[in-house]
Structure 1
Amino acid sequence: MTGPRGGAYVHVPFCAHRCAYCSFVAQAGLEGEEAYFDAVAVEALRRAGEVPGPLETVYFGGGTPSFVPPERLGLVLAALRDAFGISGGAEVTVEANPDDLRDGALEALRRTGASRLSIGVQSLSDAELAPLERRHDAAAARAALRRAVGVFRDVSADLMIGIPGQTRESLRASLEGLLEAGVAHVSVYLLEIEKAPRLVALRRERPELFADDDEAAERWELVDDALARAGLPRYEVSNWAVPGRESRHNRKYWTQEPTLGLGVAAHSFDGAVRRANTGSLPEYLRRVGAGAAAVVSEVRLGPAEAVRERALLGLRLAEGIEEALFSEASATASPGDRARLADAEAAGLLERAAGRVRLSRRGVLLSSEVFAALL
């Protein structure tokens, strides 16, 4: 067939422990996990043909997919093969926590069909892991990374900027630890504490532990410089990788390729319509068990909205978008938003090169100002 083939995201809402900053749909413990994965497999079969197959990517996110028995993930992969097919060489990513990657776990995930791991390290400083309420310590994370790289060709690690007590030096040390372990991909996110009451209270009591916006920007630039020097250039606002080792699944989101979302709170896009599953786990199980759709909302973007969204998502990528798409998106914006885009370019937040428009380095740091004009 012509055109892009689909990908699938599978939400796994189970964790050993709910971290202080987590805002995802997840629960501590494995209660109900067998019924849940049976329901996800049923949902996959019912939605056969919703995105073009065979699937090029499958992404198990959470929650903590590495916390559940690997055969549960295998059950879902089997259903996806039956419903869509999975291409040879497909990227099958499993999010994992370091404390789950003990002896035998990595090999079990590999046998299940995983080809890539995304490991939630967040920091390699014990003092920074404590307020995040992570279960692993720095030594365990380093050991898990080394073991993972020995089993999987593609290993990504997550870090956070803005952890209480973090300094530029400690962030640099965490980066160096990831690189020494041999990871090929790094994702770096800003800690968001608004939905974490304990962290909000800590900031009130000890504001000096938290980075302000300018300091957070300095730390992002430190990350960008260090990873570029190490041979992992930035390819998206929050992601760096050895060339050729970028996340193929996440790239589908930024280029609007079809993706199927399975499980509680999962989102889908078939190229024209965005769909969202219920965010309630009991409701998800009830709906699937009753033969009803798990989808509770659908949004079909109009032509102008679709163009602006394509431009917004494409600008997240370091390569940017074609000038023609930028011009088309600008033309569909309101007069005020067109002026804001022009001001952003005049201020150096956007730059043009070789027929493309992209965020400048400063533009990445102030990307919300550009994106707001395209919403």
Structure 2
Amino acid sequence: MFKKEFQKSFNNKMVYLDSGATSMKLDLVVESEIEFLTKFNTNTHNEVSESSSKINELIENLRVKVKEFLNTKEGNVAFVSGTTYASNQLAFGLIEEINAKHEVVVTAVEHSSNLLPWIEISNKTGAKLNYFDLNNDGTIDIKSINKVVNKNTKIVSFAHISNTLGYENDVKKIVEEIKKINENTLIFIDCAQSISHEKINVFEWGVDAITFSTHKMYGPFGLGILWAKDTILNRLKPLVLGGGNIVSVERNSFQLSDGPHKLEAGTMNLSSIYAFDKLLDWYQKTDINNIKSYELKLKKYFVSEFNKLNDDEIIIYNLDNNQSSILFNIKGVSSQDFAIFLEKKYQIITRAGQHCAQLTKELTNSKTTVRATLSIVNTKADIDKLIEAFKDKDKWSEYII
């Protein structure tokens, strides 16, 4: 259904099941980056150049287009290097407002990019770091939110969808419960794993900021999106200073730009921004609900075929959810060794290790796992090949040097 749109970045001999780390790139994304580099290749902030003026206009129009994609008219969009940068910008951009009287709440299954900044902030400011209670599937236990959120809670930050177990948090309900307890709590959502699978509705959620990366949504590398309410953007101190985020400079002082521009020092990743603009047009035509429906059919097919194996040597930690990730281990085999076997014998690309979410071991009781992620580049034939590899799992050691 979708695979034909990825021919320029796809090796047809390979079964690519690592979209959770980075997705394949749509042909139109590859072509758009080349088009920018060969037809424009200009920098911003130069109103004399016609090409530069066009790119300046594209960027400002793209901010609006991103907000429409996220279903919000308020706030604004900053273009940064990735989700990790965006998360750090939120944390360290507000550090001067945080002190030992405050509390910050996260989950134990956050990606390191949304966990380490808050650990560091709590260490530097003395603020207390709390963790939500989780249900068995890894979702936030809404009924126990009042155990960790209180009048001192300054910030709450968590993932919409986990990058490991693939759970989906009910953001709207969680936000409602938090605001009942403390309406002043700032709520930040990591959408890196959900942005290409679910329709994001920022207006309905009522959150203060979200982050995501374009390379996980069939788009270019090196581009992250930080959307935030204007009240947050106005308070954020930029992590980096330089050309592009200042209005004026004196001998001993300078004046920062307003809004998202102050977070965009230096030359932005313009070829990626140009390609992302085209990518959002594709999403508008495609309808993300069709993407979700296709992936759900693949997951259901996998569950059906896997259950036929009736093999208790294969441990799958998230078989029953409707998300695209499949987190598993083979009893007695290291995750890295089995991932090597999958690639060498079956040309199946997965990801093995801790997935930058080391505290997930508290739920899986395993330090490392193999993660296979389904996406629109996959077909039922890819799942058949993975099932075939599971049947052949005892031969894994023949492919380890």
Bigger relative CO (Cα 8 Å, ≥ 6 apart)? 2
If the TM-score is normalised by the length of the shorter chain, which range does it land in? under 0.3
Q: TM-score, normalised by structure 1?
A: 0.27
Name the TM-score, length of structure 2 as normaliser: 0.25
